[in-house]
Amino acid sequence: MAAAAERVNALRASIAQHDYRYYVLDDPEVPDAEYDRLVKQLKALEAEHPELVSPDSPTQRVSGAPASEFGEVVHRVPMLSLDNAFEPDDIERFDRRIRERLETEDSIAYSCEPKLDGLAVTLLYENGQLVRGATRGDGIHGEDVTANLRTLPTVPLRLVGDRFPAVLEARGEVFMSLDGFARMNREALEKGEKVFVNPRNAAAGSLRQLDPRITATRPLEIFFYGVGFVEDAELPGRHSELLAQLRDWGLRVSAETTVARGAEGLLAYYAAIGARRPTLKYQIDGVVYKVDSLLQQRELGFVARAPRWAIAHKYPAQEEMTTVRDVEWQVGRTGALTPVARLDPVFVGGVTVSNATLHNVDELRRKDVRAGDSVIVRRAGDVIPEVVRVVIERRPAGAVDVQVPGVCPVCGSEVRRIEGESVLRCTGGLVCAAQRKESLKHFAGRRAMDIDGLGDKVIEQLVDTKMVKNAADLYSLSAEQLAGLERMGEKSARNLVDAIERSKTSTLPRFLYALGIPNVGESTALAVAESFGDLEPLQSADVERIMEVPDVGPVVAAAIREFFGEARNRAVLDGLRRRGVSWPIVEAERSTHQPLSGRTFVLTGTLPSLSRADAASAIRKAGGRVTSSVTKKTDYLLAGDDPGSKLTAANELGVRIITEAEFSVLIVARSPS
């Protein structure tokens, strides 16, 4: 038995090393026949000694029965998307923004890699062993596809070496090579089966098979491009070094990665990969640039759902000409109205396109799209198809101009356009059916009203069955009604009713955040609550009064005013109050004396004892305002070490420059004795 165990371990180690050399290093050490012989020996030993079979054995890539559905995985670190660039000017602006934010004139080093047209996934390794794999999903929630990812030969079931982290979440892109795609479709045709349109769809469909045995037959591969998180390990200081480390742990990384400096280096890489694009073994739709220094990445941070330190540079998209049948207005989950062109179907970028976005009313007017027009349609990768331009010389005499709606096509609420925004928005946030599901999901969320047990699937059933039309209806639900829902027993129904009842006692900041007012996040909701104290004075406030709230500008103030100005929103609010939703009146945390009231600050450099966030918080609590750029309206530049270009701007504009010590004295000096 001991001898068998020793031989099994030796065979597994040998096979793993050959996998590493073949898939990761692209440098096989033995011919395929020898590799197959080793695998055959291992299978025979495991069949003879089943007690020696372990999940990380190469013989266990395909195991288990088909799943009825995929489980949900919540990503510990969100899987963010990237901003896109298409023109050289976009890259030059990107590089300039990076240098300005880092306050340096030195050229920035970037890690560059091809942008595969595949499916993003994350793999979790614990003590070197693969324990879970998931799709990107919406960036927060993905699908558990562990069994399917285990079937990929390029996914190691166990990391190489013995110096890997206790926990490693590696991120990569699953794709299908062009040769593999052609071979799979050829075999499907011979069998009379369905063929796929393009490698990207083929990869996505193959990875999401409920039966991993089907996935195992598909020619899927993976390249790893980064890390979500690690435990009990220190990562290298640069992204390029991190990729090399992943490779050393047995995770396959694209051989096309390199480091380039400045916008000039990025554009040279783009051109070089573009020239070789037709000869690559896989499909790409662009390249990705990432600031190489991980320290600088952390300093740059994120905006919305994308990192500031990375960008995808797309190659020119495929375009085709077709005819616009009509233009309709689509209402999104946040109430934004998007004009959508309904087209004569046309084959573009590997798919048949019958709808294309016109983005917003400004784009609609700029392109002057009319029903009956011949238009050029573009599709880049998996980006939503768009109308590029109208072929004016083909415009028919009867082309119909598009009318901008005055009311929401879904709920009839007034449509408004906030000054400075290009978006038309339905003001019926609490009553619009198009926004209903997302509005309720947000309302019930943990950081909002925190209704435990009121998950997405329950909300979807409540809306689909018309049991709930707005947030106030939640507080009239009975356990008997809820028990009739799918997968909802009597006990679960009673628990949910109790959770809804508990949520009636909330706080004003949570309640304001729960309403889902455009541009009102948690911090803004807190600031508004502290300024107004209760809901009634906020409902009757005009834009000027709302703008008195610290850090609330005209766009946010207008959004708040528009929300409370919609009569049907107010009716829902009245319904919530009648059903018992309440909160204590907010007492402002700030003192009545605001020593820095009316003063505008800009921060730069490294302060001796305060972080920038702490300094900004202190300024706001003292009634001051913090902005990111030095202008004539700036009162003080709070400067630390290595201040950068903001110091130059302050000197040129005559803005007073102060140190941290002077800042502390300033607060004391302006305070009452």
- CA 408 to CA 562: how far, in whole Å? 14
CATH number of the domain that residue 335 is part of? 2.40.50.140
- Residue ranges making up the domain that contains 49: 2-60
Name the region of 634 (left: φ>0; alpha: ψ -120 to 50; beta: rest): beta
Q: Point out the catalytic residue in the list 40, 115, 441, 646.
A: 115
**Whether residue 314 lies in the annotated active site:** no
CATH number at residue 506: 1.10.150.20
CA–centroid distance for 496 within its chain: 30
Q: Is residue 133 part of a domain?
A: yes
Structural contact between residues 288 and 311, judged by C-beta atoms closer than 8 angstroms: yes
Rounded CA-CA distance 45/302 in Å is: 52
Find the mean pLDDT for residues 362-371. Answer: 90
Determine the average pLDDT of the residues in 4-14: 75
70 inside domain: no
Who contacts 170 (Cβ-Cβ below 8 Å, separation ≥6)? 122, 123, 125, 224, 226, 227, 228, 246, 251
Q: Are 165 and 230 in contact (CB under 8 A)?
A: yes
Domain assignment of residue 403, yes or no? no
We report the CATH number of the domain holding residue 101 as: 3.30.470.30
Q: What does the H/E/C string look like for 35-61?
A: HHHHHHHHHHHHHHCHHHCCCCCHHHC
pLDDT of 477 higher than 80: yes
Asked if residue 652 and residue 514 are part of one domain, the reply reads no
Q: What is the CATH number of the domain that holds 21?
A: 1.10.287.610
- Gap between the Cα atoms of 418 and 423, Å rounded: 8
Instruction: Answer yes or no: do 6 and 153 share one domain.
Output: no
Label the pairing between strands 600-604 and 386-390. unpaired
What are phi and psi for residue 185, nearest 5 degrees? -65, -35
**Which of 562, 589, 616 lies at the terminal end of a domain, its last residue?**
589
Could you tell me if residue 71 is inside a domain?
Answer: no
Whether residues 269 and 324 share a domain: the answer is no
pLDDT for 5: 73
Do 234 and 198 reside in the same domain of the chain? yes
373 close to 391: Cβ distance less than 8 angstroms: yes
- Angstrom distance (rounded) from CA 462 to CA 460: 5
Rounded-to-integer distance, Cα 499 and Cα 493, Å: 10
DSSP label of 393 = G
Neighbours of 281 (CB within 10 A): 10
pLDDT value, residue 213? 87
CA 108 to chain centroid, in Å, comes to 25
In a domain, 203, yes or no: yes
Residue 466 predicted with pLDDT over 70: yes
Q: Are residues 519 and 627 both part of a single domain?
A: no
Question: What confidence tens digit (pLDDT) does each residue in 564-576 have?
Answer: 998 889 999 999 9
Q: Is residue 68 part of a domain?
A: no
Domain annotation covers residue 82:
no
Q: Please tell me the predicted confidence (pLDDT) of residue 88.
A: 93
Single out the residue in 360, 394, 428 at which a domain terminates. Answer: 394
User: 617: which 2 tokens?
Assistant: 């918080």
When divided into structural domains, the chain yields a total of: 5
Regarding whether 260 and 194 lie in a shared domain, the answer is yes
Q: Does 266 reside within a domain?
A: yes
State which of 589, 613, 639 marks the end of a domain. Answer: 589
Say which range, 22-31, 187-196, 319-328, 654-663, has the weakest mean pLDDT.
Answer: 22-31
Based on the domain organization, do 157 and 282 belong to the same domain?
yes
Please indicate, yes or no, whether residues 273 and 415 belong to a single structural domain of this protein: no
Residue 260's SS3 state is strand
Mean pLDDT value of segment 386-396: 89
Looking at the structure, tell me whether residues 322 and 306 fall in a common domain. no
Chain Cα centroid distance, residue 201: 20
In single-letter form, the type of residue at position 662 comes to E
CATH of residue 622's domain is 3.40.50.10190
Whether residue 472 has pLDDT greater than 60: yes
Overall pTM surpassing 0.85 (yes/no): no
Residues 231 and 378 in one domain: no
Q: Are residues 193 and 231 in the same domain?
A: yes
Q: Which residues contact 74 (CB under 8 A, 6 or more apart)?
A: 140, 141
Mean pLDDT of all residues belonging to the chain? 85
Q: Once rounded to an integer, what is the mean pLDDT over residues 423-438?
A: 85
264-284, pLDDT tens digit by residue? 999 999 999 998 888 899 988
Bridge partners of residue 133, in order along the sequence: 123
**Co-location of 39 and 97 in the same domain:** no
